[in-house]
Amino acid sequence: MTVTNLTDPLTLPCGQVLPNRLMKSALSEVLADRASAPDHRLERLYGTWAAGGYGLLVTGNVMVDGRQMGEPGNVVVEDERHLDRLTRWAKTTQDHGVPLWMQINHPGRQANPLKLRHQPVAPSPIAVKVVGASTPRALTGEEIEDIIDRFATTAAVAETAGFDGVQVHAAHGYLVAQFLSPLSNQRDDEWGGDPERRMRFALEIVRRVRARVSPGFAVGIKLNSADFQRGGFTEEESRDVVAALATEGLDLIEVSGGSYESPAMMGSAAASTVAREAYFLEYARAVRDVAGGVPLAVTGGFRTRTAMESALASGDCDLIGLGRPTCTTPDAANVILGSPTARVDSHQVGYSKTGLLSRVTDIKAFNSLVDLGWHEDQLHRIGAGKQPDTGRSKLATTVSLVRRNGREAFTRRRS
């Protein structure tokens, strides 16, 4: 049945009920302490979002392997050593009745050089095409099995801590997406060589996670519609992956797209796409039939209640994801639900594309990092009990990026 009201609840296949159709999508908070445990600022940040009216909150990157980090400040969950901290984090949203899912991830060849003192790993020894990237080592079959088990272990710990579900990150060029793409997976064994074998890694992770958690614990996945690169993961291949995933007990598929090399998720969409708001709605429409009974979430570009309700009314998606607007408007869901003409704004920060800096660096890549860092700064302010600062300068963000990440701050884009 077609839904047009954002306030309608959504019952997931596992039986979990989301109180409305607005989801705070994953944003990289980088608010772990030196032991890679959740910092108290994460509790304050998620407590703020929990009061913001959302039907679902999804955390940013939680690493399944402390030896392979996406960026400094990522939380790592390999076992129950930080269970008390994780439990406090989960409880911040329980008090508001808002489900909280942990996004679980492995960076693969996109591991951050500041946190990685050895060679990164990947399906094949092919470096990501960004400044400062090193050539990864190809994973052995035994290592692949270990990583799959790590995803399942992290999910089990999340459930023990009180989280309501997990989202496997299979988008944005991280390890699961690397296995899916023929550009980064050039294996000829059981983990690569054709689309069916390339999708096996993602399927095995979902299967093993589902087997380790209770039936009422939600399991979702974030999947690229495409890599947006010649010879890469295509929409046709993505559609086949959705069809395969639909039979694996999933509760939600979130549609996204792009990678570090082609950052469709980093504010690089064409003006016409931005104008129509929903970046990936056409793709969601294309996979709606093969997704079966698995709900679809679309994130990217939504700003007005009108566009959100139109997307729901079309039947192309079941949940609307909000990302960057929640950095400066933490109660964006309440704002949207409070008025039929409501709109939430997003901000884009960067240096001149024709200035001096553009002559000495890839200004597009540099600005993507600065823009992400600016939004990250807003999350740090909220976590510290402060209000977002939309007037924060790009220079201040540049300084904070160097302070947090050192000289490697500008050698890698992050999502």
- Residue 78 C-beta-side C-alpha neighbours within 13 Å: 12
Contacts of range 66-70, beta carbons closer than 8 Å, 24 or more positions apart: 66/36, 67/116, 67/118, 68/106, 68/107, 68/108, 68/111, 68/116, 68/120, 68/121, 69/36, 69/107, 69/111, 69/112, 69/115, 69/116, 70/28, 70/105, 70/107, 70/110, 70/111, 70/112, 70/174, 70/414
Supply the angle between the helices 235-245 and 200-212 in degrees, to the nearest 10: 30
User: Residue 409: pLDDT above 70?
Assistant: no
Ramachandran bin of 400, using left for φ above 0, alpha for ψ from -120 to 50, beta for the remaining angles: alpha
**CA-CA-CA-CA torsion sign (8, 219, 47, 312):** negative
d(CA 280, CA 299): 7
What is residue 266's predicted lDDT score, i.e. its pLDDT?
A: 47
pLDDT in tens, 319-365: 999 999 999 999 999 999 999 999 998 898 988 888 877 777 777 77
Mean pLDDT of all residues in 168-186:
94
Contact 294, 206 (CB under 8 A): no
Of 157, 185, 180, which Cα lies nearest the Cα of 170?
180
What is the β-pairing status of strands 165-170 and 100-105?
parallel
What is residue 204's predicted lDDT score, i.e. its pLDDT?
A: 98
Model pTM score: 0.92
10-348: CATH class: alpha beta
Contact 192, 123 (CB under 8 A): yes
In the chain, domain spans: 10-348
What is the β-pairing status of strands 17-18 and 10-11?
antiparallel
pLDDT in tens, 92-126: 999 899 999 999 999 999 998 766 667 899 999 99
User: Residue 300: pLDDT above 60?
Assistant: yes
On average, the pLDDT of the chain sits at 89
Ramachandran bin of 365, using left for φ above 0, alpha for ψ from -120 to 50, beta for the remaining angles: alpha
**Which residue carries 């269970």 as its tokens?**
83
User: Residue 413: pLDDT above 50?
Assistant: no
| 3-state DSSP helix/strand/coil % of the chain, to nearest 5 | 35, 15, 50
DSSP 350-382: ---SSSGGGGTS-HHHHHHHHHHHHHHHHHHHH
pLDDT in tens, 186-220: 999 999 999 999 999 999 999 999 999 999 999 99
What is residue 398's predicted lDDT score, i.e. its pLDDT?
A: 87
List the beta strands (DSSP E) in 83-129: 100-105, 121-122
Contacts of range 278-284, beta carbons closer than 8 Å, 24 or more positions apart: 278/302, 278/307, 278/311, 280/225, 280/255, 280/256, 281/311, 281/314, 281/316, 281/317, 283/225, 283/226, 283/235, 283/238, 283/255, 283/257, 284/255, 284/316, 284/317
* Helix boundaries (H) for 16-122: 40-50, 83-94
Burial label for 157, CB within 10 Å (0-12, 13-18, 19+), is buried
CA distances from 124 to 65, 127, 162, 187 (A): 19, 9, 36, 6
